[in-house]
């Protein structure tokens, strides 16, 4: 009987989440208590990226939309936080002369951010390929800068990459009931700084 009540409570929670809008869904997610793990900056960081939430211009394929939240360890949103993002293009190459696939997003009063990009390509690093990943620097007022990387679940290169950390996996975000061609793929991540 107790198992049945737990199942019904879980279904009720899911139904309640389905009634809220996309920005509220991020707020309704459980708060991660552990600080986000740092990760290497890599050789392709360049300061001075423009403020923008879309990291590419014309997109031939459906974009990737990453949304999430920045909080402290007590789940309080860190308003005004900025996140620098940079990544390789679909062929695994970094733009070293311009700002394609580079940008800075500002979190709103609830610590929520949203960015449109694409899934970056893998590239050869020595004798092995790096998994698809995005680089991030989180600048929260009065706190040390968090430099890290975000990884994609199911990437076959994750297990052989020396910098991959399971805690830095993006999670699948809310999506429609079925695949819709040319619609964005949605992922989420919560930074805790």
pLDDT tens by residue, 153-177: 999 999 999 999 999 999 987 654 4
DSSP per-residue string spanning 50-97 = PB-SB--SS-SSPPEEEEEEEE-TT--B-TT-EEEEE---TTS---SS
Tokens 């070293």 locate to: 96
Every domain of the chain and the residues it spans? 25-192
Mean pLDDT across the stretch 10-29?
40
Residues 6+ apart with CB under 8 A from 41: 135, 137, 147
Topology at the third CATH level for domain 25-192: Protocatechuate 3,4-Dioxygenase, subunit A (2.60.130)
Q: What is the pTM of this model?
A: 0.80
Evaluate if residue 94 carries a pLDDT over 80: yes
Active site residues: 94, 123, 130, 133, 135
pLDDT tens by residue, 107-121: 999 999 999 999 999
Question: How high does pLDDT run on average in the chain?
Answer: 83
Cα–Cα distance for residue pair 71/193, rounded to 1 Å: 6
């Amino acid at each position: 009987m107790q198992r049945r009540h737990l199942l019904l409570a879980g279904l009720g929670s899911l139904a309640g989440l389905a009634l809220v809008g996309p920005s509220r869904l991020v707020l309704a997610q459980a708060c991660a208590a552990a600080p986000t793990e740092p990760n290497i900056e890599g050789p392709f960081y360049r300061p001075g990226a423009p403020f923008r939430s879309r990291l590419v211009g014309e997109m031939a394929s459906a974009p990737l939309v990453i949304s999430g939240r920045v909080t402290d360890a007590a789940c309080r949103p860190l308003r005004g936080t900025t996140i620098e993002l940079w990544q390789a293009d679909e062929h695994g190459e970094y733009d070293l002369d311009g700002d394609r696939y580079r940008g800075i997003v500002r979190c709103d009063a609830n610590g929520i951010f949203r960015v449109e990009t694409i899934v970056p390509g893998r590239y050869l690093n020595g004798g092995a390929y790096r998994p698809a990943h995005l680089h991030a620097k989180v600048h929260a007022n009065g706190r040390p800068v968090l430099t890290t990387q975000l990884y994609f679940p199911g990437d076959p290169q994750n297990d052989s990459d020396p910098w991959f950390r399971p805690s830095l996996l993006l999670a699948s975000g809310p999506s429609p009931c079925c695949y819709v061609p040319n619609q964005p793929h949605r992922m989420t991540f919560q930074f805790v700084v």
